Structure 1
Amino acid sequence: MFKIEDADAEEMTAHYARTLFPAVVEPLHRRALISVEDRHYTVGYCSIWNGKCNSGMSVSLSGGPDAYGLYIPSSGGMAIDVGSRELVSKPGEGLVGDMSSFEKLTLHEQRSHMGIAFEKSALIRQLSELLDAPVLDDLEFTDTVDLSSARGMQIATLGNLIWQSLTVEDADRSSSAFTEHLLQAMMIALLEAVPHNYSERMLKPASPAIPRRLKRAIEYMHANVGSNMGIAEIAREAGTSVRALQAAFQQFKNTTPLSYLRTIRLQGARGALMDPARCQAVAEIARSWGFSHMGRFAALYHQAFGEMPSDTARLRRRDDRMDRRQMKIRVRQL
């Protein structure tokens, strides 16, 4: 928590480097002084803050945090430079963006907002659970959400509840588990209410009947998932050409044959890693599902599920130990 009044650019730059992240801070008007106040919290994989910039300033970043940020403004305006685009945040419109791509933030006088930064891996993990599938491409949100709409009002209300859970008196404060569940609910709300490149898949429409040769190709992939197969081999076994197979996957599965195969392998590897009956090492499981390069497998797995394969295996072992401990307790009770 801090409150700074009438600081010059150098003081503010040093303050940001010391307390938040490296940045170059400048006043909006030459030689003007800067006054800001902020209150920050960290809860698990999230940072939550509420602040006000009384004087206006610009904040130039050499690289923002590896997180998705939600801004819920209450007064004033803010512009964010992202490459050749400018995102605008103003009262009545929430803003969601990839903070690692932020280059410059311009906060106008009397700007105030609440912000929540979600670690990318946490939001990807939540998206993977909602899809019940790996997340193979970067998550890309559209920029704004109308806070006066029904879904937008839910996000604003949830944001206020999260902030209240952190700032009430100690005697009335809920547990950290309560706040963490509110933050998880906010991630689900954002993924459901704010358009992004996975929105259509989240609707889970009924799949149309697929052609026989496409079905044969998919069956061949499942039957030989651990082998080193290429698209030409898959097409040959399905009795079709490579071009026709690519077109069929694009039309009926909205992906490529090799991306579909990678999804099968990632889902299979995750299922094996989560299976308490499996005692295999991570590398052995990866190889059995067609991954020969462990570094590449770990990177793809983390991108798809928001956690490393070793984390999944560790959770499986912990749950297995808990199950055995509970079994022993029940036996003693009997």
Structure 2
Amino acid sequence: MKVEIYGLIKKEPFQKALYCAQDLYEAHPKIFQKPEIHGLLEFDWTAYLFVKKRELGGRYWKYTSPVLVILNNEVLGSDEDFRKWAEENHSCYDYRPLALYSTLGNEAYINTLYERNRIFVSMLITIGGERCGPLLFELYSDILPKTCENFRALCTGEKGLVPKNEVESYKMHYKGTLFFRLVRNGWIQGGDVLHSRGNDGCSIYGRTFEDENFAIKHDRRGILSMANAGRHTNDSQFFITLAPTPWMDNLYVAFGRVIEGSLTLDLMEEVPTQNERPTKDICISEIQIMDPKDLSTKLC
């Protein structure tokens, strides 16, 4: 028998289903294949579940469990459905304490991020001065080190002020800047470190810097990419895709993605616009680099 498990890697129900599948495999190796385990981060899980709900329809439109168990290519349901089935059909019971699953979930989440050896950026977004929610980005610093370093430094504000002319200076920090352009089902753009209007920006390498590479595709919602005014004109402006935008490939340098914050991005996209400008301020109110080994560094 084939068992597949998809779910939020950090959540107790996912860990329960995972260990139930392992228990069945170890107890009955001639009956069960090695289980296929897919521990997902929040943004990927939300996208997976949305597609699955459309595929299954019916009662699954209201499905809220953070795990989905598939048995022999047929959906069985949640961790509770799986455990009940395991008990009734194979006398497989769970004697582990709930607190253990919480610990296992946290460890799995931390290890997943740490093993990627990438930069993680945590943002807190406000809309119209009211809290909206957090976003967590994974930067592909192993693939685009120069582009990611530009973004990272602008997240910390470590470069301070950079003079533009005799009276104006770029504040080299994303904190307090606005998302100034919103194209529904397209992208949302920010990163103007002068006036947040969308007509200026500055990189840490000088006014602009070159296109590093086009290895990352704009193939899904949540891709983080550099805005530009043509080839080799990257500065501080960036955007987040709100849908797959393959026409952007080889035109804009994608360098990261949203891994947590589905609801936050949904709320940002819902802000009314006039000529593609949000009618309410969508602001980066707080921002910091997240240390995967220290969850207190993640804004929430």
Computing the radius of gyration over CA atoms, which structure comes out larger, 1 or 2? 1
TM over 0.5: no
Higher relative contact order (CA 8 A, sep 6+): 2
| Greater helix content | 1
Q: TM-score, normalised by structure 2?
A: 0.26
TM-score, normalised via structure 1 length: 0.24
* Structure whose residues are more often strand by fraction: 2
